[in-house]
Amino acid sequence: MNKAWQDLQEALGGLHTRIVQSEATQLTLLEQQDPSLPWHPGIRNMLHYLALRNIDLRLLQDALSDAGLSSLGRAESHVLDSVQCTLQILRAALQIPPADFSGTTAITREQGQQALTNNTLALLGSPPHQRSTHIMVTLSGDRVDDFDFFRNLLTAGMNIARINCAHDDPAIWQRLAEQVRTASRDTGQPCRILADLAGHKIRTGPLPEVPGVIHLSPERDRLGRLQTPAQMTVLACHKEMALSPAGVDCLLLMASGSAMPQQGEDLLCHDTRGKERVLVVERIEGQIITLQAMQGCYFTAGNPWQSRRRRHVQGHFVGIPQSALPLHLEVDDQLLLQSQPGPGAPAQKSRPARISCTLPEVVAQLPVGQAVWMDDGKIAAMVMEQTPEGALLRITKTKPGGARLQAGRGLNFPGLALNLPALSAKDLEDLDTIIPLADLIGFSFVENAEHMRGMLEALRQRQGEHLGVIAKIETAGAFHKLPEILLAALGRQPMGIMIARGDLAVEVGPERLAEVQEEILWLAEAAHLPVIWATQVLEQLTKKGVISRPEFTDAAMGVRAECVMLNKGPYAVEAVHTLNDILIRMQAHQHKKFSRLRALHWGASTVPASQ
């Protein structure tokens, strides 16, 4: 036993020396690069953690565990102290005088956890009394005037409201922020606002537009019997408008001299297939008419209609917006990613399908063999060659039967350094709008320390140093350079990390996402920084009102982060209620990597009382 413990003491002593020497070397280099480097416990502890994890410790970990000692498997927040405490126990067991660690800087487990708590409070504010993990909800611009929605989100448990600057406009952002602040005052529930910059999100360009179609589909039971008629809302008018007003599906254009349809009246029409259909005037409110259809039908602009009993009451459907025609792509199809902006086009006899992107200058940077992922990974391709018109891609993966590529879908180029500035022109313009509105700034597509320094400088120039910065880790490059990104901001400004699992899964591959998100959690804890667990949490519940079993498990795993983010959806309030319940239950069992031993309900005996 003494020989085994002596070997452990020597191995752990060597590890301690390695950590201390690595810290000294790295701090010297960092101070040379940045003389203003602030002293921050998270900086030293993160350097300790990086030195600890730079070698494979599995054999040492097993040996420590077999000896009944700390295996170092939960030392993220207090690395050096954990090593030193274990060493002192080994030395005491071997009757060796305790080591002198007075020359080292080590924080205890309690100090590390307190540092994380303090940083979380500074960045995210106080969580509710019963729950330690914050809940963030993405706001939807189409709910901006529904004040009860904001109140209900807060009373259900939302702590942070997210405004996505990739959508809507500054007027909507301003109104959303006002609604959150007002609802927070009315309910007494504190709520911070995160404004998420759009960043250099590269998306597919426009596609040819075709006439829009309205499809009415009545609800039927399994025997085909009518249950609920289909409805559409129209605005009756004698003059066509450039745009249909909000809240109506299209315009019911009446011919010259035509009278207004009446309630209960049947309107006869032929749909796009030439099939005769009857639309019943179910309700009239001023010029707004609600029509009901008992049969399925398709309408496009120009389809005529006429009253069944009053032949002079007639006209056309107009004001149906055009829609973009998606590209249908299958495996081995070719797709030209255009180097110039402009509308795409489907494949023709001698030409492949084509599409542009929102950052045309990136196309020329794509090397042959570069992987290209489209629409959140639904379509995969590879660069075959560079041509004068752009990069020619070969589709390598779609769902069975092919996939449809729409305009405005995301493009990812895993592993490719795009050499883009930290902030786009839109980001800089948006900062001027959102700094007075927000408490936190979401930094999209941060890639390196230079990017982070650029963000901090942009905030400084706009007197935004008081705002917290959330580094969104959504590319493979950002993941690999995460330590330098953190070092660029630690101690200078309130900071946190978002694991943006959507784009990150595309970049690193879905098979590796689970591993990568764990490593981000570990490094963030070593730096004493809060983490936001984001993307598709309770997605089906939020969008469809139903929940799947895997979603429960995923949401429960989020308790290891300091905040869990929900996307927008019609059932967002219900999702907050459910997430609140899950997080309260799980926090009694789990804190970061540490499994908490709350008493289990089975009790002290498994033997039935009758025996």
> What are the pLDDT digits (tens) for 464-509?
999 999 999 999 999 999 999 999 999 899 999 999 998 899 999 8
- The Cβ of residue 204 has, within 10 Å, a number of other Cβ atoms equal to 23
Q: Which three-class secondary structure state does DSSP give residue 150? A: helix
Residues 83 and 31 occupy one common structural domain: yes
State how far the Cα of 211 lies from the Cα of 272, in Å rounded to an integer.
Answer: 11
Measured between alpha carbons, how far apart are the two ends of the chain, in Å? 42
Among the three residues 352, 371, 399, which one is the final residue of a domain in this structure?
399
Q: Which two tokens stand for residue 363?
A: 């196309």
Asked if residue 405 has pLDDT above 90, the reply is: yes
State how far the Cα of 120 lies from the Cα of 122, in Å rounded to an integer.
Answer: 5
* 409 domain-assigned: no
Lowest mean pLDDT among 43-52, 412-421, 441-450, 563-572: 412-421
Q: Which two tokens stand for residue 593?
A: 């990597």
Looking from the CA of 574 toward its CB, the CA atoms found within 13 Å total 13
* Pair 317, 253: CB distance under 8 Å: yes
* 606 domain-assigned: no
Give the DSSP letter of residue 345.
B
Q: Which helix (H) or strand (E) holds 74?
A: none
State how many domains the chain has.
4
* 375 domain-assigned: yes
Residues 471 and 576 occupy one common structural domain: yes
Residues 7 and 103 occupy one common structural domain: yes
Residues 459 and 577 occupy one common structural domain: yes
Provide the edge-to-edge strand list for the sheet that holds 390-397: 353-355, 334-338, 390-397, 379-387, 371-374, 411-412
Nearest to 234, CA basis, from 261, 207, 255, 198:
261
* 22 domain-assigned: yes
Q: Tokens 């350079």, residue?
A: 481
State how far the Cα of 553 lies from the Cα of 34, in Å rounded to an integer.
Answer: 43
What mean pLDDT is reported for the chain? 93
Asked if residue 605 has pLDDT above 80, the reply is: no
State how far the Cα of 62 lies from the Cα of 70, in Å rounded to an integer.
Answer: 10
Residues 187 and 98 occupy one common structural domain: no
Asked if residue 611 has pLDDT above 60, the reply is: no
Range of the domain at 477: 131-200+418-546+561-595
* 113 domain-assigned: no
> What are the pLDDT digits (tens) for 245-286?
878 999 999 999 999 999 999 999 999 999 999 999 999 999
* 60 domain-assigned: yes
pTM for this entry: 0.85
Calculate mean pLDDT across residues 407-413: 92
Query: Please, which residues have CB within 8 angstroms of residue 610's CB and are 6 or more apart in sequence?
Result: none
With pLDDT > 90 as the criterion, what percentage of the chain qualifies? 82
The angle at the Cα of 493, spanning 48 to 488, to the nearest 5 degrees, equals 50
Q: Tokens 């120009």, residue?
A: 302
Q: Tokens 């209609």, residue?
A: 305
Q: What is the pLDDT of residue 610?
A: 55
Q: What is the pLDDT of residue 24?
A: 93
List the CATH number of the domain containing 390. Answer: 2.40.33.10
* 124 domain-assigned: no
pLDDT band, residue 606 (cuts 50/70/90): low
Residues 73 and 139 occupy one common structural domain: no
Asked if residue 554 has pLDDT above 80, the reply is: yes
Residues 286 and 155 occupy one common structural domain: no
> What are the pLDDT digits (tens) for 353-384?
999 999 999 999 999 999 999 998 899 999 99
Residues 426 and 538 occupy one common structural domain: yes
Residues 288 and 262 occupy one common structural domain: yes
Residue 352, judged by CB atoms within 10 A of its CB (0-12, 13-18, 19+), counts as middle
Residues 518 and 585 occupy one common structural domain: yes
Among the three residues 107, 123, 145, which one is the final residue of a domain in this structure?
107
- Amino acid code (one letter) for 255: A
Residues 586 and 520 occupy one common structural domain: yes
3-state secondary structure 196-242: ECCCCCCEECCCCEECCEEEECCEECCCCCEEECEEEEEEEECCCCC
State how far the Cα of 81 lies from the Cα of 75, in Å rounded to an integer.
Answer: 8
Among the three residues 277, 293, 323, which one is the final residue of a domain in this structure?
323
Q: Which three-class secondary structure state does DSSP give residue 195? A: strand
Residues 163 and 276 occupy one common structural domain: no
* 605 domain-assigned: no
Q: Which helix (H) or strand (E) holds 3?
A: helix 2-33
Asked if residue 534 has pLDDT above 80, the reply is: yes
* Orientation angle between helical segments 79-93 and 2-33, nearest 10 degrees: 150
Nearest to 246, CA basis, from 170, 145, 343, 138:
145
List the CATH number of the domain containing 537. Answer: 3.20.20.60
Tell me the DSSP string of 234-281.
EEEESS--SSPPTT-SEEEEEPTTPPPP-TT-EEEEE-TTS-EEEEEE
pLDDT band, residue 1 (cuts 50/70/90): low
Q: What is the pLDDT of residue 601?
A: 66
With pLDDT > 70 as the criterion, what percentage of the chain qualifies? 98
Q: What is the pLDDT of residue 550?
A: 87
> What are the pLDDT digits (tens) for 290-347?
999 999 999 999 999 999 999 899 999 999 988 888 999 999 999 999 999 999 999 9
State how far the Cα of 160 lies from the Cα of 566, in Å rounded to an integer.
Answer: 10
Residue 314, judged by CB atoms within 10 A of its CB (0-12, 13-18, 19+), counts as buried
Asked if residue 115 has pLDDT above 70, the reply is: yes
State how far the Cα of 81 lies from the Cα of 79, in Å rounded to an integer.
Answer: 6
